[in-house]
Amino acid sequence: MKKSVLLVFLLLSSQLIFAQNEIGPEGHKLVWAVLVIVAVAAVFVLTARFSPQKQKKEKKPFFSIKKIQVDLEKDALYYPDNLTLKVKNTGTTDVDLTQPLLVFDNFWLKRKFKLKGMGNHTFYPLYLEKGKSHTLQIDLSRFYGHDKRLKKFPKAKVYLFDVKGKKLGSKSVFLRKTLFKF
């Protein structure tokens, strides 16, 4: 509340100062503008100092940045059996992750799979606190058993979204040799 009032006040005061058609401001107008800004700052400081302290709670950052670092590693250079997805929350706030989307990519075709968990355990949506990390082992033989043509797809990519649908990150690896890197 205080931040929004301060922001509105600063925006409106700048409109009043810069909206005049004079070449240079007169001296007394600058003095009044500085006095008003100092008075408002003093009111904020005094209310913050003498207001009753309710509970000590964490200070939330002014801008909450949701940022994650995604690593996708394979166990072999070509034709891997397992992929390891590592997700680390490097932002300033906690993140709710939905099911990762695994995409097998052939130049013309794409096959998409939602990853539900590991070892018949479902743990998505996942709440990831800031600074924490999460690791998921992806067994590709289950996908190859579902569709044999997937072994010919040279690229695998993982997309991560939050629960609101915003894309947070992605990472891709090549599963076999290709003539063109796409």
Q: Where are the beta strands (DSSP E) in 40-122?
A: 68-74, 82-89, 95-97, 101-105, 110-114, 117-118, 121-122
The pLDDT, as a whole number, for residue 119 is 80
For residues 105-117, give the mean pLDDT: 91
The pLDDT, as a whole number, for residue 10 is 73
The span from the CA of 179 to the CA of 56, in Å, is: 60
Tokens read off for 172: 């891709």
Tokens read off for 85: 């997805």
Q: What is the band of 28 on the pLDDT scale with cuts at 50, 70, 90? A: confident
Task: Pick 51 or 113 by higher pLDDT.
Answer: 113
Tokens read off for 124: 């998505």
Q: What is the pTM of this model?
A: 0.64
Residues 44 and 38 sit within 8 Å (Cβ to Cβ): no
The pLDDT, as a whole number, for residue 146 is 87
Question: Under CATH, which number does the domain 68-174 receive?
Answer: 2.60.40.10
Q: What is the band of 94 on the pLDDT scale with cuts at 50, 70, 90? A: very high
Residue 100: is its pLDDT beyond 90? yes
The span from the CA of 157 to the CA of 96, in Å, is: 20
Task: Pick 97 or 62 by higher pLDDT.
Answer: 97
The pLDDT, as a whole number, for residue 52 is 66
| Residue of 8, 40, 38, 3 whose CA lies nearest to 16 | 8
The pLDDT, as a whole number, for residue 33 is 86
- What Cα–Cα distance (Å) separates residue 45 from each residue in 42, 80, 151, 156? 5, 61, 65, 55
The pLDDT, as a whole number, for residue 162 is 92
Residue 172: is its pLDDT beyond 80? yes
The pLDDT, as a whole number, for residue 64 is 74
Residues 169 and 145 sit within 8 Å (Cβ to Cβ): no
The span from the CA of 175 to the CA of 155, in Å, is: 6
The pLDDT, as a whole number, for residue 109 is 92
Helix (H, G, I), strand (E, B) or coil at 76: coil
